[in-house]
Every structure is written in structure tokens, then in C-alpha cells.
Structure 1
Amino acid sequence: MLQRKRMLRIGVSDESPFIIYSIQSILAAEITRQEIYSYPVEAEHLLIRLKEQTPDILITDFSFSFERNDLNGVKKLEEIHKQLPELNIIVFTTQSSKAILNRILQIPVKAIVSKRDDQRELIEAVQWVCSASPGIYYSRQMKKLAQESLACSANTLLSSSEMEVIRLFAMGYSLMDIAKLRERSVSTVATQKYNAMHKLQLHSNTDLIKYVFSQELV
């Protein structure tokens, strides 16, 4: 349980300097006796810094670098929790995929807040952690998504063909290349890719590639 009388140490790790500045401004205006520090995004440097200067709360998104030797996305959160199990993690993200959220829910994070929600949600998430409330705090948008994600397992939604198409696509193959490899028409492959993205609620090719990497399908 966090000590209310001493200074609250909050770490922020995000790819966007604007997001970091916004978080600092929002929390500084609402929460007294707090110190907010910026932390690296890249997994190795982030873990080193967290061990050197461990905050009470880490507010972070789960970014991807696509480097083979780097810990990406959800795997980074898992490693942070493994090495610093007492650290309170608040996930602050634009992610809206049930599949990726389902992976996050397997990690003991303290709160999940959407960047699309009102700024008050982040303040309430920090207050939730400070009060040592049981369970996970969900912002308004993330609450509905979390309920839906718990009701299904994303991978089981995809057919083997859909899974293979998105795997190859994330590896850099074009739809035409995949069609040749699988001896299917380009329109068939395009439909399978579209159906997979629809089922996973992914809205761009970048989101699709992030999902494949987060699930370690390549």
C-alpha cells in the first residue's frame, strides 16, 4: 500500500513527448505531493532505469519497435512485471483490439485507461492505485472492451487460413506473394486478411502487424 504522507513517485513511459507532457500537466494539477519522471520506451533501457529508480506507479503504453532482439508490446509489460512484481502499472493506450487487451488482462496491471477517454479517468486510475483498491480500474471505454474480451479468445476466432495470411503479411509478404505461396487468388487472400482484421477489431495494417508480433506468431 502506498504511503500517502510521503511524495508519490510516478514514472511515465510513452513514445510521444506530447503524451508525457500532458500526463505531467494533468496529474500535477490534481494530485498533491507527487514527483513525475520520464522513463525510456525501449525495453532494455526502461528496465535498467526502473531498477535504478523504481517509481510507485508506472504509466505506460505497450509500444512496438519490430526489432527482433527487443521486447515488444505485451511481452515488455510481462517482463517488467516479472522483474519488478511490486510495481503498480497503469496501461495508458489507444488500443481497441479485444485480442491484445485479452493478453494484457493476463498481466497483473492495476489500471487500463484509454487515451480517448476524459482526462479525469487517468486521475481516478492513479487515485485507485493509491487507495489500494482491489481489482483493476477500467476507464469508461476500456470497461466495455474488457468485458467483451473476457468473453472470447481471439485466436480461436480465426481460421487456420486467416492466421497464416496475417502471419505472412506481418513478415512483409504482399497479398500477391501470399496468393502465390498459398495457391489462392489475390481476392481470396485479401478477403481472409479483411476477415481476420474484422474479427480482431484491428483498423490498420500497423495494428495488424503489432498484433502478430504481440502474439509471437512470427
Structure 2
Amino acid sequence: MIMRRIGLADDHPIIMDALEAALLETGEFEIAFKVRTGEQLLDALRTCPCEYVVTDYSMTQGAPGGDGLALIERVLRQFAPLRLVVFTMLSNPALCGQLAQLGVHGIVSKNDERHEVLRALRAIEAGAKLPWRSPSLRGWLYEPLKSVKPACNDLAALSQRELDVVRLFAQGQTLDEIAANLQRAKSTVATHKQNAMHKLGIANNADLICYAYDVGIVR
């Protein structure tokens, strides 16, 4: 059996260790590296070539370059033909669509069973239609939002802080993470988010995320 070299990136050691154990148990993979930040991932790929990477979407340590679409775009651009699977707690149509547009090979939700990562890797190896998605994400590819009709034609109604909160939220950060990044109370961040949604005429989180991508708050 041909062994495949794989790198792992996640800022939760317990998750990464469990994933490593599952991969090694199959006898199909050898671990090229294990890292906890985006910058560490980029450094490891320069020195430890591998065929696959399974990475979290949002790694809060080691910023800048620690998480998000920008990191994934850099990995795919700089290290082709690497096959990349995103393993994430996030689950929204806009994010799935953005990841698909970047060219990731698989998207696996941490809300699904751990063995879905193995299924993704095997499906990609077998030439499955990409991106492969775990069960809870199937059918959630992004389509430009048509149903949201903002209360204003531009973003002028939003304060700078409201824009910041919408941008970070659409990028996948939790309210706790946004509060830490902006050095504001979580309640204040929640108020900014609700005010922005009210001004834009948006009723739910999924529509807010889609709107942010549609109008370019997040690229």
C-alpha cells in the first residue's frame, strides 16, 4: 500500500491528536507535520512537502495569517498540487461557496463524525466531484443572495464599528472572538451586529453573511 503524506493544522491539540490517531490507524497515511497556527502551516509546507493537508478554517493563535480565506488562498496558490481539506465548526452557505471558489478539495464539518475526514480523503483520491462535503454541509454551496433587500442602497448607514463587526462575523468569528479582537464587551459587539442587521433590513445570520460577500465587505 502506498502511504500518503499528510499535514494537520488545528489550534485544538485534542482534535488534532484524535485525527492523527484515526489517520495512522488506517495504515494509509503518515503525518508530515502537526501545527497550530496559519503561519506555522505555511512554514511547515515549505520544509515538509506532503500530498494532503487537513486544516481548521479558524485558528485564533498566531495572527496575522492565522485563519480564514486569505490563509487558504495562499496555501492553494503557493503549494499546488496540494490537496486541501478544510475541517471546521463553521457551517454556512456563504463560507462553503467561498471555499469552493478558492478550489479546496473537501469541506468537513466538525459537527459530523470524525471518520468523515477519512471519507473525504479517500473520495478525493478516487476522483470524486469536488469539493467533497460532509453530510451536514451537502447542498450548502453559496449562490448570490437575491432575497435580501437592504434598507439602504449602500453601507453608509453603518458605523465603522458596525462594519467591523459584520466583516469579522462573516469571516466566521464568534461574538466572543470579535469582542477579544476589537477589545469590546461581548454585549457591545452583539448590539453592533443587531444594529447593522436592522439598518440593512436583514433578519438572520445566514443572510447577513451572504450579504457581506455580495457587497464586498468580505472578499
Distance 1:52 1:133 in 2: 29
Distance 2:193 2:73 in 1: 38
TM-fit CA distance, 1:216: 6.2
User: 2:133 is matched with which residue?
Assistant: 138
Q: Taking structure 1 as reference, are residues 190 and 132 closer, same or farther at Cα in structure 2, changes over 3 Å only?
A: closer
Distance 1:110 1:41 in 2: 21
User: 1:118 is matched with which residue?
Assistant: 113
- Residue 24, structure 1, aligned to residue 20, structure 2: yes
Query: Does the CA-based 8 Å contact 1:98-1:201 persist in structure 2?
Result: no
Query: Does the CA-based 8 Å contact 1:163-1:196 persist in structure 2?
Result: no
The C-alpha deviation readout for 1:94-148, integer Å capped at 9, x for no partner, is 10122222221211111111111122321210111222334221110011322xx
TM-score (norm: length of structure 1): 0.70
Matches within 5 A, 1:1-218: 5-29=1-25, 31-65=26-60, 69-70=64-65, 72-146=67-141, 149=142, 151-153=143-145, 160=155, 161=157, 166-169=162-165, 172=182, 189=195, 192=198, 198-200=204-206
Distance 1:186 1:78 in 2: 29
Q: Taking structure 1 as reference, are residues 126 and 177 closer, same or farther at Cα in structure 2, changes over 3 Å only?
A: closer
Identity of aligned residues (%): 20
Query: Does the CA-based 8 Å contact 2:58-2:66 persist in structure 1?
Result: no
Aligned pairs, how many? 194
Query: Does the CA-based 8 Å contact 1:91-1:111 persist in structure 2?
Result: yes
Structure 1: unaligned runs, 5 residues or longer:
179-184, 203-207
Query: Does the CA-based 8 Å contact 2:38-2:62 persist in structure 1?
Result: no
SS in 2 for 1:113: strand
Counterpart of 2:144 in structure 1: which amino acid?
C
Higher helix share: 1
Query: Does the CA-based 8 Å contact 1:12-1:59 persist in structure 2?
Result: yes
